[in-house]
Amino acid sequence: MPDSSRRARTVRRLLTGGLLLLPLLFFALFYFYPLGAILRLGLWPEGRLDTAALGQMFTSRTILGVLWFTLWQAVVSTLLTLALAMPGAYVLARYRFRGQSLIRAVATLPFVLPTVVVAAAFVALVGPSGVVNNWLMDALSLDAPPIRLSQTVWIILLAHVFYNYSVALRLLSAYWQNLPPSLTQAAQMLGASPGRAFVEVTLPLLRPAILAAAALVFTFTFTSFGVIVVLGGPRFATLEVEIYRQAVNLFNLPVAAALSLWQILFTFILMLFYTRTQARISRPLRLGARRAIERPVRTGREKLLVYGNAAAILVLIGAPLLALVGRSLRGASGPTLAYYRALFTNRDDSLFFVPPAEAIGNSVAIALAAMLLAVTLGVLSAQLLTHWERPGGATGRGALLARLLDPLLMLPLATSAVTLGLGYLIALGRPPLNLRASILMLPIAHAVVAAPFVLRSVLPGFRGILPSLREAAAMLGADGPRVWREVDWPLIRRPLLVGALFAFTISLGEFGATIFLVRPETPTLPIAIYRFLGQPGALNYGQALAMSVLLLLVCVVAFLAIEHFRIGGEEF
């Protein structure tokens, strides 16, 4: 081979290798570096080891109270969610009925909704000016709302159950569907009642799925932020909320960093427990054909059970969302579009220097930038993983590197957005990376959160590309770009679209990190909703609901598109 050709090939390999390593550099700068800054500030605030801030977790009565509330509300939320999800999981796993696909889709919807939309939906349903209170006041001729759940723990628990119901339902129904009904039938033939057969046979077999669902729901409620901030008001705070208060309201960054370290430790333990129980779920007793296990609804008792649960799911999920839409279209004198029209005006007493509609434009622009960045990172990461997984990859230890890199790139999923936002506030507000005033801060933060979703979406597509297909195309005279266009692209374009939709939706509704980093003159849609909900006045309240409806519609459309284009991607 001529020296010039060898040099050109070496240059191409170096450029390709450098391109594939860009995700590692990006995560090193914008994920590990901010977390390292939190670690340094929490343990070495003055340049020497100091654990005083860490010790406040167990010496400060205020923070102990926050920790106690965080724990017990997470436990109660988890128990309520599991109790409500178990009957629905049984129905979806064991019966075949008309509208089953619709019920599954509706039950899955809450998990893709931004927390501010969920909070606004419950304000519209059971708030002082909500649908339920308005109806009761009209029906009973009352002067004051009879249901007073605002800024109470009850509305927080309701929102947590709504938000996490789909997680428990999906995990439990999927596992329950794989358990052969013959075991329960055998127990009943030996004289056990249906209740005893469930307790002594089904429940022990379901234990891994129950524990996995409980761990995941507990993690989400333990790290709850948006629901607590919007619905709880100043009376309630989880560790996430206390981190925000210490950093932004009190500007006590060492204590905020120390609390973040405890939060990271607790979350790591919870995720470790979840991954171990998830591994047990992946090895069920015996897989059964779905059609063979599901049975049609025949008796009156079965109809009551199945359609009663289906109705309960529709009410649980549909009531807050319908209340949100309906309340946004109703003013003091009846149906109106005034709240939507007001989004395009800049009132003198507005909370911002710009009309609320500009917050929508800001969110869309940031989401598009974050989507492009997350898709680029996800695609490059997937190519790097599949390159190292193949025999004869970049090094002889390529498979080992791939096994290490895969969970490494997924770490942002186990890190709360509030912790990430605090890390950016500490690390990226001074040299060498002073991005505090840059418009790039939010797209970068959102891309860090969204990139793992893109990776999980596109990785199966890249793994499905056989090297022999590329080799055959090359032998037929196709150059590199044409091989990618004719072989790779048809196999990854649908997963890539799913990943892009995930990234766009996640960025559009991101609240935890954004509240740390957003600039007053460029608010995003979730921040605008939060601030308008916190202000008195019917117009502020109506505008918050109108913006929530618009965000809800975008998320619903994206969710339907994701379900349509998903073709067996990996679970998150």
Cross-strand partners of 330: 335
* pLDDT score of 287: 44
Return the CATH number at 463: 1.10.3720.10
At residue 325, does pLDDT exceed 50?
yes
Co-location of 452 and 307 in the same domain: no
Same domain, 459 and 393: yes
Of the candidates 506, 551, 553, 505, the one whose C-alpha atom is nearest the C-alpha of residue 528 is 551
Q: Is residue 266 part of a domain?
A: yes
371 plus 291 within the same structural domain: no
Give the pLDDT confidence score for residue 117 in this predicted structure: 92
Which pLDDT tens digit goes with each residue over 385-444?
A: 777 666 544 445 556 666 677 777 777 877 888 889 999 988 887 777 788 778 889 999
Domain end point (choices 329, 360, 393): 329
Residue linked to tokens 């379901």: 206
As a whole number of angstroms, the distance between CA 41 and CA 61 comes to 22
Query: 116 and 192 share a domain?
Result: yes
Q: Is the pLDDT of residue 483 over 70?
A: no
pLDDT (0 to 100) of residue 285? 43
Q: Are residues 173 and 297 in the same domain?
A: yes
pLDDT in tens, 295-320: 788 888 888 988 998 898 889 899 99
Domain membership flag for residue 369:
yes
What value, to the nearest 5°, has the Cα angle with vertex 18 and ends 13 and 20?
A: 95
Give the DSSP H/E element, type plus range, for residue 96: strand 95-96
Kindly state whether residue 19 falls inside one of the protein's structural domains.
no
Each residue's pLDDT tens digit, 365-394: 999 999 999 999 988 888 877 776 665 444
Whether pLDDT at 532 is above 70: yes
324, 362: one domain:
no
Please give the Cα distance from 466 to 156 (Å, whole number): 49
pLDDT band at residue 352 using 50, 70 and 90 as cut-offs? low
Could you tell me if 322 and 383 lie in one domain? no
Tokens standing for residue 181: 């009904």
Among 329, 363, 387, residue at a domain's last position: 329
Residue 143, pLDDT > 90, answer no
Q: Distance (Å, rounded) from C-alpha 483 to C-alpha 334?
A: 61
What is the structure's pLDDT at 13? 55
Q: Which pLDDT score, from 0 to 100, does residue 411 have?
A: 78
Q: What is the pTM of this model?
A: 0.83
Q: How far apart are the first and last CA of the chain?
A: 47
Give the mean model confidence (pLDDT) for residues 496-522.
88
Q: Is the pLDDT of residue 567 over 90?
A: no
Provide the number of structural domains found in the chain. Answer: 2
pLDDT > 50? residue 570 = no
Backbone angles phi, psi at 353, to 5 degrees: -90, 0
- Average pLDDT value for residue range 207-219: 88
What pLDDT, in 10s, does the model give residues 152-173?
999 999 999 998 998 899 888 8
pLDDT above 50 (res 199): yes
For 192, residues 6+ apart whose C-beta sits below 8 A from its C-beta are 200, 201
Q: What angle do CA 440, 349, 234 make, to 5 degrees?
A: 70
In this prediction, residue 547 has a pLDDT band, given cuts at 50, 70 and 90, of: very high
Task: Note down the domain range covering 531.
Answer: 351-467+493-572
pLDDT at 474: 67
